[in-house]
Amino acid sequence: QAELEKSDMNKFVSYDDVSVGLLGGITLNHAAFGPESEIKVESLAIDSIDREAIEHGKIPAYGEITVHGFELAMTKQQVKQAFPQLYNLGYRDIKGDIGIEYNYSEQDKMLHIKELTLSLNGAGTLTGHLDMQVPWDAISNPDMLLMAMDAAKLKTVGLKLENDGLVDRVFDMVEK
């Protein structure tokens, strides 16, 4: 909590409980993010992260983060504006889980996303991985992230969708 207050992030992050793992890592339980607590999560586990980059306002060169039970506290109109495709498919509550494990190899200029998982309740789970060659200075600055995609070369990618209603909703919408 002291670190949040020191960095002025306590205006954007709150939580009921925090725990530190025996071998490292930190978990925030019953957390809320955003100036009006728009994003609520059951737990946010940070198993590893490039803290030095964060302290300098840069994108971390490595990390392993898992979010269980997130919920976007949005009105139907906000969902319609922010996620029009999901809204058109009948989704009104955006809830689920997210996880990512990645690192950047300076030696070969490769961003390795070992695993990325996105689960949405009532939709399904998308898992994937990718290797992308991109200069770190192009992605380590949050302001230059979009421009970095022009310099990137996709080397490998894999995606898998486990359907839990999304495909049925898409087919129903196409039939109409």
Over residues 159-168, the pLDDT tens digits come to 999 999 999 9
Is the distance from CB of 41 to CB of 15 less than 8 angstroms? no
pLDDT recorded at residue 142? 65
Give the span between the Cα atoms of 47 and 65, in whole angstroms. Answer: 6
Report which of residues 93 and 147 the model is more confident about: 93
- Residue among 49, 53, 45, 52 nearest 17 (CA): 45
- Residue among 97, 90, 100 nearest 162 (CA): 97
pLDDT recorded at residue 72? 85
Is the distance from CB of 58 to CB of 48 less than 8 angstroms? no
Percent above pLDDT 90 for the chain = 42
Give me the mean pLDDT over the 68-85 stretch. 85
In terms of Cβ atoms closer than 10 Å to its own Cβ (0-12, 13-18, 19+), residue 110 is: middle
Give me the mean pLDDT over the 75-99 stretch. 86
3-29 pLDDT, tens digit per residue, is: 555 555 567 788 889 888 887 788 999
In terms of Cβ atoms closer than 10 Å to its own Cβ (0-12, 13-18, 19+), residue 44 is: buried
Report which of residues 117 and 34 the model is more confident about: 117
Give the span between the Cα atoms of 172 and 15, in whole angstroms. Answer: 40
pLDDT recorded at residue 149? 73
Confidence band, pLDDT 50/70/90 cuts, at residue 1: low
